[in-house]
Amino acid sequence: MSMDPNTQKPSESSRTPEIPVKEPSGQQIASAASNIPVLPNTPKVEIETSHQEENELDKKIYKAEGIGKIAAIVLATIASVFVFFNFVLGITVVDGVSMRPTLKTGDILLVWKLPKTIAAVTNSQYLPARSHVVIVTEPNNPKKQYVKRVIAVPGERVDATDGKILVFNIQYPQGFNPDSQPYGKNLPATSGDFQVSVGSGQVFVMGDNRKSGGSIDSRSSIGAIPANNVVGEVIMRIYPFSKFRTL
């Protein structure tokens, strides 16, 4: 190797040329690996993928089960709400003047339906108690419902004369005033003169607005209401909050 006398460094002509390095290709690596001798009794190592596949399947099953549980809870909640409000407790809003002065338009009421539901399940006769406020369906028009008060029950006779109303039965053959309850203190006189006998499975209902034309009830064309047309009994006014109370 010659030295440059001025720099004391190897001259360019004497340098060893650099050999370029190439990365082996995948095919070359695979070929070299196949030529490696296998020692006797050397255990083979296999990579198992079954556990990974099982884990992926378990995740999918778990996810499906989670979605199924959520759907079941949602459906059960909807069904429970439907059953509750159709067969146990209902809500209705007063619309009209037929129950004045006790109730007014816009009042929101809770309706207790469970006794009617139990009677239907046990195939027995349901009859609301006298003086209770009820929701009734008009016999000739099932789409119409009214808020009324029960005045008389099966086997009784209702007489109205000169603004006074009396109910006759076996216990009171001389008659009694059905409005002799706290609610009756502020009621107007009952208009019209009539006499009605209440048949089996019926109830005689009236609105608290006893003025002429003030209420469509058993005094008018709808007559005594079949007990099956009673939707339920009003147990409470929940709105307006200032008038929150039981009925």
In which residue are the tokens 């198992």 written? 48
Paired strand residues for 246: 236
Catalytic entry in 98, 116, 215, 218: 98
What's the residue count for the chain? 247
Q: Which of 149, 83, 148 is nearest to 121 (CA)?
A: 83
DSSP assignment of 52-102, as one string? HHHHHHHHHHHHHHHHHHHHHHHHHHHHHHHHHHHHTEEEEE--SSTTTTT
Give how far Cα 14 sits from Cα of 18, 20, 133, 234, Å.
12, 19, 120, 115
Q: Is 148 a catalytic residue?
A: yes
Q: Is 63 a catalytic residue?
A: no
- Between CA 225 and CA 217 the distance in angstroms is 9
Catalytic entry in 113, 116, 148, 218: 148
In which residue are the tokens 């129950």 written? 99
Backbone conformation region of residue 223, classed left if phi is above 0, alpha if psi is from -120 to 50, else beta:
left
Question: CB–CB of 131/183 below 8 Å?
Answer: yes
Question: CB–CB of 131/178 below 8 Å?
Answer: yes
- Known catalytic residues are 98, 148
